[in-house]
Amino acid sequence: MSRHGQRSTRLRHRPSRAVPALIVGLLLLAAGVALVWLSITRLVNGSWPSLLEGPRDWLAALTWNDPATWQIGTAAVVVGVILLLCALIPGGYNAIAIEASGVGDEAPPVQEQETVMTCRAVAHLAKARCGQIDGVRTASATATTGRVHVNVTTFLHEPGDLRARITDAVRARLEETGLSPVPEVTATVRSRD
């Protein structure tokens, strides 16, 4: 199960599905350990462990149209569909590409180049820009590749055009950073006494 050689992968990538893979991997490991333990017990003692008697009797009495067979079949279909969804739903990118401007004739000696900013970094940038705007008390931000949303609290009883000033300032900051495409910027402003 080797993954990559000694080449780098794209910095802007989709989720790696580590959580479902970890769960299924641990279940496989547990199943393998259980099988090995049962087999070794049988080989050493000459008889199967007594805890197998229940499942063995249940299996011997099971018919194809038994409700338990239906339940097992349904559970298998559901689990399989969940695994397929985990594998096939692409998920969002972790970062936004940055277009470098002003390099011109001094193009770097690189055949393939990728410059990105993580969504978390974009959120930090937006939050920090909000914190510099007059009237803003506290700010928090969340970012995806397509949208940046900032939540702002203000001292002002009537915020007026504060929301527009915030979105304009954050958008300008993201544009000057070179994000491509620039995410849509939205803001929620709440007044606090």
Partner 1 sequence: MRQTAGTLNRTWLTILGVLVVAVGAALLLQANGTLHTLLDTARPRTSVVTGDLHAFFAQPWVAATMLIIGVIIGVLGLLWVIAQIPRKNPAGDYRLHDDASQGFTLCDPSVLSTAVEKQINTLPGVITSAALLRGTARAPDLTLKVTVNDRADVQEVIHRIQTSTLPELANALEVPLQRSGLQIDVSGRTQSTGTVVQSTGTVVY
Binding to partner 1 in span 89-128, by CB under 8 A: 95, 98, 100-103, 106-118, 120-122, 124-125, 127-128
Task: Give, as ranges, the residues between 63 and 82 that touch partner 1 (CB under 8 A).
Answer: 63-66, 69-70, 72-82
Cβ 149 to partner 1 shortest distance, Å: 17
**What radius of gyration do the chain's Cα atoms show?**
28
Residue 39 phi, psi (nearest 5): -65, -45
Q: Give the β-pairing of 95-97 and 136-143.
A: unpaired
3-state SS assignment for residue 144: coil
Cβ 161 to partner 1 shortest distance, Å: 24
Task: Give, as ranges, the residues between 15 and 74 that touch partner 1 (CB under 8 A).
Answer: 15-18, 20-22, 24-40, 42-43, 48, 52, 56, 59-66, 69-70, 72-74
d(C-alpha 185, C-alpha 95), whole Å: 16
> In the complex with partner 1, which residue's Cβ is closer, 113 or 193?
113
d(C-alpha 116, C-alpha 147), whole Å: 16
Task: Give, as ranges, the residues between 158 and 177 that touch partner 1 (CB under 8 A).
Answer: 176-177
Task: Give, as ranges, the residues between 132 and 151 that touch partner 1 (CB under 8 A).
Answer: none
Cβ proximity of 139 and 150 under 8 Å: yes
> In the complex with partner 1, which residue's Cβ is closer, 2 or 158?
2
Cβ 162 to partner 1 shortest distance, Å: 19
3-state SS assignment for residue 38: helix
> Among residues 109, 141, 129, 136, which one has the least CA distance to residue 170?
129
> Among residues 96, 100, 89, 91, which one has the least CA distance to residue 184?
96
> In the complex with partner 1, which residue's Cβ is closer, 40 or 160?
40
Candidates 49, 51, 87, 160: give the one binding partner 1 (CB under 8 A): 87
> In the complex with partner 1, which residue's Cβ is closer, 19 or 160?
19
Is residue 155 part of the contact set for partner 1 (CB under 8 A)?
no
Candidates 13, 147, 190, 192: give the one binding partner 1 (CB under 8 A): 13
Cβ proximity of 141 and 127 under 8 Å: yes
